[in-house]
Amino acid sequence: MRSFQSMLNYFPEEVLEHIFDFLTSHRDRNAVSLVCKSWFAVERLSREKVFIGNCYAISPERLIARFPRVRSLTLKGKPHFADFNLVPHDWGGFVQPWIESMVKDGVNLEELRLKRMLVSDESLELLSKFFPNFKSLVLVSCDGFSTDGLAAIASNCRFLRELDLQENEVEDRRGQWLSCFPDSCTSLVSLNFACLKGEVNLAALERLVARCRNLRSLRVNHTVPLDALQRILLQAPQLVDLGTGSFVHDPETCNKLETGMPKCTSITSLSGFLEVAACCLPAVYTICSHLTSLNLSYAPGIFSKELVKLICHCNKLERLLVLDTIGDEGLGVVALTCKELQELRVFPSDPYGVGNAVVTEEGLVAISAGCRKLDSILYFCQQMTNAALIMVAKNCPNFIRFRLCTLNPTVPDAVTMQPLDEGFGAIVKSCKGLKRLSVSGLLTDLLFHYIGRYAEQLEMLSIAFAGNSDQGMLYVLNGCKKLKKLEIRDSPFGNEALLADVGKYETMRSLWMSSCEVTLGACKTLAQKMPRLNVEVINESGGDQTEASVDDKVEKMYLYRTLVGPRKDAPDFVWTL
């Protein structure tokens, strides 16, 4: 052993670095850093891509100190439940301090990927002006910026390859941000502005597409009409990923599109259809047979019949996002056609109305029977049964992500009226590689017993309106050794569960509990015992921390491990205990 050890010590750093280059996953690189001091040193100086799952777990200064050669940074801000309006808008997650710090230390930033962060126009301007090699900006579910910020990016980033805006709230300032791409800009590979509300200069867009010969991915917003899209496609037959704008137009344009489409043989990913006239859909039938990804989930205007006509051409599909307007029957067609399907998401189109657009357990079972390669599902449904879930578990043991959401959060098995414990239990028992699970429906502590017992690889769990007692949460905390994120709302878990194993939380990224039975006193106790956790209480009803009693139930609590102590940018309504 000793000679082997010495052999390793003589390994030149350059060789180590070269070997580490092959490690693309940040988890692998993290693991490698733990081996010994010299590996830690080599690794940290060679790491270019850094992933930070919680922007408050570390500070920008410490990041740069450890990884001075960082070129690509991924940051996530608000907790996941912020997506559902459970977190006040200005809770935090500002990117500004990160950018300022990187500017100050001369980081050669090339790529920035943000999720649920607050991004200001000022941040975007700094980004565009101080990182001359900046190439890629990906913003997902962010807000705080306007088209002025985008104009700065377009104007100043000379080598921009990627501008990808997904589901952001962007203030439209009516400026012509797209026209700000200079004529010299030919480097774009990916441009996605589907979430923008305002108009763009169509002529500028067409010219931009024409001169960016490497453009692979283009997703336009709803203001781009079909005729403009048709002209763009003529300029960019090399496109691989297309997001259409408004798919509504006269038959003549539809015909033009239909004749033009076959030339786009490279398109494998299709999305958009933000406003759609069903009569125009046949224009895309010719490309359907090479599609691997199809997102129709923003097209409430397409109903089951038309959806099915489209989908029955898509036999290579690996990823499908649709609305529940597809119906169980439509899902049956998917099951027959899409044998390569790996990921399916079915979103609700009309959750409060009296509409008849709905999917049930039947659709899910059909999919599981037909699509054996399925490993990721998000399914919003009217009803569910244990029998169906048991069947699904048997058909598809390869689930990595399984998220089921019943429109009524506490609905029991539609046939037996029993809790859905056995159904979800079957899923966790069968799917040994399950990493992410969201449960809903009538659920008791028994389900959590199953989860704790069988879900060995589980990293993220979302619970709502479920369980009977603290025991439920305890099963999960004690059983799921790889748990990273736990988010719970409206469930009867309280202090006993919260405080049973305080050390557990340092092995996790974060815990969210809202409308549960946890009291302020317990949160304070936890904060006191665990200095390397930030325990934050969100108190929206005003009032001071000193006025509140320790027996008061806490409406929203978010705790996360951190190396840098309480954050200094917390607004008044966030109490860090």
Residue 8 C-beta: closest distance to other proteins, Å: 48
- Per CB under 8 A, residues contacting other proteins are 81, 83-86, 141, 167-169, 195, 248, 274-276, 297-301, 303, 323, 347-355, 380, 405, 407-411, 438, 442, 462, 464-469, 489-492, 515-517, 553, 555
Do residues 135 and 111 touch, judged by C-beta distance below 8 A? yes
Residue 86 C-beta: closest distance to other proteins, Å: 5
CA distance 461 to 438: 6
Residue 432 C-beta: closest distance to other proteins, Å: 26
- Decide whether 24 or 541 has the Cβ nearer to other proteins: 541
Dihedral (Cα; 139, 142, 144, 150), 10-degree rounding: 20
Consecutive H or E run containing 304: helix 304-311
How many residues appear in the chain? Answer: 577
Q: Within 10 Å of residue 252's Cβ, how many Cβ atoms? A: 9
- Decide whether 107 or 511 has the Cβ nearer to other proteins: 511
Residue 167 C-beta: closest distance to other proteins, Å: 4
- Decide whether 516 or 538 has the Cβ nearer to other proteins: 516
Residue 516 C-beta: closest distance to other proteins, Å: 8
Closest to 317 in 3D by CA, of 298, 296, 300, 303 = 296
Residue 323 C-beta: closest distance to other proteins, Å: 6
DSSP class of residue 194 equals: T
Residue 350 backbone phi and psi in degrees, to 5: -155, 70
CA distance 413 to 385: 4
- Decide whether 156 or 406 has the Cβ nearer to other proteins: 406
Residue 452 sits at the vertex; the CA angle it makes with 470 and 518, to the nearest 5 degrees, is 25
- Decide whether 341 or 414 has the Cβ nearer to other proteins: 414
- Decide whether 6 or 85 has the Cβ nearer to other proteins: 85
- Decide whether 506 or 552 has the Cβ nearer to other proteins: 552
CA distance 46 to 26: 12
| Amino acid code (one letter) for 59 | S
CA distance 114 to 112: 6
CA distance 386 to 415: 9
Residue 80 C-beta: closest distance to other proteins, Å: 9
Q: What is the DSSP string of 420-459?
A: SHHHHHHHHHH-TT--EEE--SS--HHHHHHHHHH-TT--
- Decide whether 286 or 515 has the Cβ nearer to other proteins: 515
CA distance 422 to 413: 10
Closest to 17 in 3D by CA, of 53, 56, 55, 48 = 48
Could you tell me the two tokens for 577? 């205990």
- Decide whether 4 or 352 has the Cβ nearer to other proteins: 352
CA distance 140 to 275: 22
| Amino acid code (one letter) for 495 | N
- Decide whether 183 or 551 has the Cβ nearer to other proteins: 551
Residue 162 C-beta: closest distance to other proteins, Å: 20
- Decide whether 353 or 503 has the Cβ nearer to other proteins: 353
Residue 405 C-beta: closest distance to other proteins, Å: 6
Could you tell me the two tokens for 455? 């879900």
Consecutive H or E run containing 477: helix 470-479
CA distance 535 to 565: 10
Residue 307 C-beta: closest distance to other proteins, Å: 14
Residue 514 C-beta: closest distance to other proteins, Å: 8
